[in-house]
Structure 1
Amino acid sequence: MAIEVSESIEARLREVEDKLAIYELIASHPPSADTGHAQYTAQVYKEEGIFNRGVGLDGATGAKAIADFILRPAHREAIQGGLAHFTGLPLVNLQGDRAIVTSYLQLIQHDKTGKPREMANHGVSTGYRIHRVVVNRWELERIAGQWKISARTLLPVDGSKAPLELLNAGLTEILARNRIE
């Protein structure tokens, strides 16, 4: 994969800085969701942001509504039950002041009914179970120098076409941007 380097050092540095800022934004989701930090969530979404969880699960529109999502009693119950969001390294496609990010997310829950097992030097645990694995598509915009989420779609990895299409779109966009054949 040969990519021609014709951009200036400043442009390349800006791309690195943008990607680091985006990685930080995406990496902040699990701690903010797992602590119910609604104020943080409201700050990282655009005012008219969209949160789409696919068929069968409700979503929200607007930064306040999305932030309120994690204040629900059911979400608090999930947190108290040992909820942990675990994300994979995102694939970032920068497009000037816009970016498309594709990633995986696992929802992991403490298994309170599991058989206790001991691990050397780590104590006894009943373990954890993966509740769901989803594909995320984050659509971001740079606003006043900050990356904000304009839309987020997450679909369960369940063998259906839709999550595979999100993954494929992320790869296709990277290929097109880098002109990789």
Structure 2
Amino acid sequence: MTDNPMAALEARLRRLEDERDISRLMASYGPLVDSGAATEVADLWEPDGVYDIDELYLGGRSEIRSMVESAAHQGWIRGGCAHVVGPAHVTVDGDTAVAVAHSLMVVHDDGRYVVRRATANHWQLRRSPDGWQVTTRTNRVLDGRPESPALLRSGVRGTAPLDEVDRGTV
């Protein structure tokens, strides 16, 4: 307990605002990427931020922007798709944070909607003068491979992604 209740209240409020801001950033990804807002998607990341998708590694905003502008992604948009990021578990530690959530990519296929991918998402973020930005987002498809649940577990624990896989403790 602190001797200064106002300072304790301010710290609690800042942590809650940080968690809200990070959750909003994460929730903005789907609407932005599904509307083809390539620059806005890329600006969620730091300039040299990383988006590590199990079959694709994007280093820096220009590669992230190019992914959204790609013919493949534009085809998903034209065909009907939704990138849905589930509720986030956020751990803030000063000016850095770790968050974890599930995501689904839902596509329109022959008159019905089908889940194309279900993934574990581990986000590492840093506070910038302009607010929170992604330093690294790591996604792994939930298909039974051990790194996917390890990614979720490490995010809830507030640790770096895939530490448990790297240490062989999965």
Contact between 2:99 and 2:156, CA under 8 Å: does it hold in 1?
Answer: no
SS of structure 1 residue aligned to 2:101: strand
Q: For residues 6-39 of structure 1, give each alpha carbon's deviation from its aligned partner in whole angstroms, at most 9, with x where no partner exists.
A: 8700000001111111111000000111011011
Task: Note the C-alpha offset of 1:111.
Answer: 2.1
Of the three residues 96, 100, 103, the one matched with 2:101 is 103
> Percent same amino acid among aligned pairs?
30
| Structure 1 match to 2:137 | 152
Written as runs of structure 1 = structure 2, the 5 A alignment for 1:26-175 is 26-54=26-54, 57-112=55-110, 126-173=111-158
SS of structure 2 residue aligned to 1:141: strand
How many angstroms apart in 2 are the aligned matches of 1:42 and 1:129?
Answer: 26
TM-score, normalised by the number of residues in structure 1: 0.81
How many angstroms apart in 2 are the aligned matches of 1:127 and 1:109?
Answer: 8
Q: Whose radius of gyration is greater, 1 or 2?
A: 1
Tell me which stretches of 4 or more aligned residues in structure 1 moved more than 2 Å: 4-7, 171-174
Q: For residues 95-134 of structure 1, give each alpha carbon's deviation from its aligned partner in whole angstroms, at most 9, with x where no partner exists.
A: 110000100000001121xxxxxxxxxxxxx321111100
Structure 1 spans left out of the alignment, 5+ residues:
113-125, 175-181
How many angstroms apart in 1 are the aligned matches of 2:8 and 2:99?
Answer: 24
Q: Which amino acid aligns with 1:32?
A: L
TM-score, normalised by the number of residues in structure 2: 0.86
The size of the alignment, in residue pairs, is 156
SS of structure 2 residue aligned to 1:8: helix
Written as runs of structure 1 = structure 2, the 5 A alignment for 1:18-33 is 18-33=18-33
How many angstroms apart in 1 are the aligned matches of 2:56 and 2:42?
Answer: 18
SS of structure 2 residue aligned to 1:70: helix
Q: Which amino acid aligns with 1:170?
A: G
